[in-house]
């Protein structure tokens, strides 16, 4: 049985922190986007609707890309890298 080194644990912690930071950043971006949409909606509801529609379309495209990537990875799993 192999135990994780301190370096491995630091990498895992760093990757986890980076993922959490990215999620927080994404949440902030979504909040900022929606705040802008609300303001735009008061001035030009049609433009706000178009922007929301584009946002939705792009979000769905990203979700589909992620699904396709997962399906591809299931069929073509990455090969373990050999140590140096």
**Strand, coil or helix: what is 15?**
helix
More confident residue, 56 or 12: 56
pLDDT at 11: 57
The verdict on residue 54 lying in a domain is yes
| Confidence band of 30 (pLDDT split at 50, 70, 90) | confident
Q: Flag whether 34 is in a domain.
A: yes
Domain count within the chain: 1
Question: Is the entire prediction scored with pTM above 0.85?
Answer: no
In a domain, 45, yes or no: yes
The pLDDT assigned to 17 comes to: 61
> Measured in Å, how far apart are the chain's first and last C-alpha atoms?
20
Given a contact cutoff of 8 angstroms between Cβ atoms, the answer to whether 43 and 57 are in contact is no
**Range(s) of the domain holding residue 58:** 25-75
Does residue 32 lie in a domain region? yes
Over residues 69-84, mean pLDDT: 88
Structure tokens belonging to residue 4: 């994780």
Place of tokens 């979000």: 59
pLDDT at position 82: 78
On whether residue 17 sits in a domain, the answer given is: no
**Average pLDDT of the segment spanning 55-74:** 94
Token pair of 22, please? Answer: 């990215």
Give CA 39 to chain center in angstroms: 26
In a domain, 62, yes or no: yes
Phi, psi of 29 (to 5 degrees): -65, -45
């Amino acid at each position: 049985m192999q135990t994780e080194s301190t370096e491995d644990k630091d990498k895992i912690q760093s990757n986890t922190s980076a993922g959490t930071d990215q999620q927080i950043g994404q949440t902030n971006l979504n909040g900022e986007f929606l705040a802008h949409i609300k303001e735009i909606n008061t001035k030009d509801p049609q433009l706000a609707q178009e922007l929301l529609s584009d946002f939705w379309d792009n979000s769905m495209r990203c979700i589909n890309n992620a699904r396709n990537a997962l399906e591809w990875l299931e069929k073509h799993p990455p090969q373990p890298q050999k140590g140096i």
